[in-house]
Amino acid sequence: MIDLLRRHRLVAILRAGDTSRFTEVASVLYASGVRLLEATLTTPGAAASITAIRGALPEDALVGAGSVRLPSDVDTAVDAGAGFLVTPTVSPAVLERARERGVPVLAGAFTPTEIDQAWHLGAAAVKVFPVREAGGPAFVKAVRAPLPDVPLVPTGGVELSDVDAYLGAGAVAVAAASPLLGDALTGGSLDALSTRATRFVTAATG
């Protein structure tokens, strides 16, 4: 997981009121260069969409489940074919169940204490969330000083114009939802999505 984060440096977050366009949008994202995609379990039908997206995309795409909060969520996601899990918080029970199921976790954390705790509990990387409210790139840089071994993935309000600053501050990758997806999941232009995604991929990979 960490190797893929270092290589692609961008995770696309799919979250909406329903999953009707998840597979179509995922295909556009893949065609634009995105290889790491997260479907959030807060969207009804997300587990089935993970299975569908995995079936629609080539094998080099890694499809994960987001908003994983309970050990039962781990089982639901892994049984659907999720290749990684993303949590909004530090949950020892979720991390333990994920370890039992053999799937990596991007654990959500806000404070330096939570970030360090998530890392020591076995997270593959730590999702700094919500990073904009935490202080943006300056916060990531400050946290990296005492915790240089912890791979950080800033999430929450990451705009295209922020990508270079976050990576320059030492983040291993960034994750983006609305700034990347826009209104594509609710009927918006897929051509516009392709343009945004290409720009994000270019910013992330240089």
> What is the spatial distance between Cα 169 and Cα 140, in angstroms, rounded to a whole number?
6
Report the candidate in 35, 40, 27 with the shortest Cα–Cα distance to residue 85. Answer: 40
CA distance 53 to 48: 9
CA distances from 195 to 13, 81, 181, 189, 191 (A): 17, 29, 10, 10, 6
Catalytic residues: 38, 127
Nearest by Cα to 193 from 9, 14, 8: 14
138 torsion bin: left (phi>0), alpha (psi -120 to 50), beta (else) = alpha
Rounded Cα distance between 65 and 144, Å, is 26
